[in-house]
Structures are given as C-alpha cells and as structure tokens.
Amino acid sequence: MKPVTARTKGYRRIIPSVTALVEFEAVARHSSFTLAADELGVT
C-alpha cells in the first residue's frame, strides 16, 4: 500500500489549483482573455 502522501500527490496533478479555476472562470465569463486579465490584474 502506498503512503497517503503519494496518493495525494497524484490527485494534485489531476485537480487544478483554485487560482487556475478562478482564471478559467473569468475567461469563460468574459469570453475574452484580455478582459479576464484586466479583471485579475494580469499583464
């Protein structure tokens, strides 16, 4: 049996980070990478 940390590490690759989900949602809502970047303060 593998340690819990090894399993957790594997799942981490599958599940996107919260930051990535927020960025994805902003792009989807605006239908524009430029507008999403403006909202998120990304250049």
- Rounded to 10 deg, the angle between the 33-40 and 18-30 helix axes is 130
As a whole number, mean pLDDT of residues 1-30 equals 78
pTM above 0.85, yes or no: no
Within a domain: 35: yes
Quick check: 33 and 39 in contact, CB under 8 A? Answer: no
Assess if residue 37 is contained within a domain: yes
Q: Would residue 31 count as lying in a domain?
A: yes
Q: Is residue 32 part of a domain?
A: yes
- pLDDT higher than threshold 60 for residue 3: no
Cβ atoms of 20 and 40 within 8 Å: the answer is no
State phi, psi for 10 to the nearest 5 degrees.
Answer: -65, -40
The residue segments making up the domain with residue 35 are 16-43
In a domain, 8, yes or no: no
Residue 34 lies in a domain: yes
Flag whether 3 is in a domain: no
pLDDT band at 16 (very low <50, low <70, confident <90, very high): confident
Q: How many distinct structural domains can be found in the chain? A: 1
